[in-house]
Amino acid sequence: MSSFFKDKTILVTGATGSIGSEIVKQLLKENPKTVRIFSRDEHKQFLMRQRIGDPDEIRYFLGDVRDQPRLVRAMEDVDYVFHCAAYKHVPLCEYNSFEAVKTNVIGTQNVIEAAYQQNVKRVLFVSTDKAASPSNVMGATKLLAERLMTSAMSSRGQHPIIFSSVRFGNVLGSRGSMVPTFCNQIQAGGPVTVTDPAMTRFIMSIPDAVSLTFTAMEQMKGGELFILKMPVVRLSDLIDVLIEEVAPVFDKDPASIEKRNIGIRPGEKMQELLMTAEEAQYATDSEKMFIVRSALDPFVGENPSTQLSSEAYNSATITPMRSEDIRVMIKQFLKNSPLSIAVQEVELKIDS
pLDDT (tens, 9 = 90+) of the chain, 352 residues, equals 458 999 999 999 999 998 999 999 999 999 999 999 999 999 999 999 999 888 899 999 999 999 999 999 999 999 999 999 999 988 899 999 999 999 999 999 999 999 999 999 999 999 999 999 998 999 999 999 999 999 998 888 788 899 999 998 888 877 667 788 888 899 999 899 988 999 999 998 888 899 989 999 999 999 999 999 999 999 999 999 999 998 998 899 999 999 999 988 877 788 889 999 999 989 999 888 999 998 776 555 555 445 665 688 899 889 999 999 999 988 888 776 543 434 444 443 433 3
Which among 82, 212, 207, 90 is positioned nearest to 149, based on CA atoms? 82
- Asked whether the whole model's pTM tops 0.85, one would answer yes
Write out pLDDT tens, residues 70-119.
999 999 999 999 999 999 988 899 999 999 999 999 999 999 999 999 99
- The pLDDT of residue 310 is 60
**What are 190-224's pLDDT values in tens digits?**
899 988 999 999 998 888 899 989 999 999 999 99
Query: Can you give the pLDDT at residue 305?
Result: 45
Active-site hit among 8, 88, 130, 229 = 130
Q: What are the φ/ψ torsions at residue 284 (nearest 5 degrees)? A: -115, 155
Rounded Cα distance between 267 and 195, Å, is 12
Cα dihedral sign for 168, 173, 179, 182?
negative
Domains of the chain are: 9-169+204-229+273-314 (3.40.50.720)
Q: 194 pairs with which residues across the strands?
A: 261
Q: Would you state the pLDDT for residue 265?
A: 80
Report angle CA 223, 175, 204 to the nearest 5 degrees. 55
Question: What are the φ/ψ torsions at residue 247 (nearest 5 degrees)?
Answer: -55, -45
pLDDT recorded at residue 350 = 38
130 is catalytic: yes
Distance, in Å, from the CA atom of 125 to the CA atom of 219, rounded to the nearest integer, reads 14
pLDDT value of position 308: 61
SS3 for 69?
Answer: helix
Q: What pLDDT does 154 receive?
A: 83
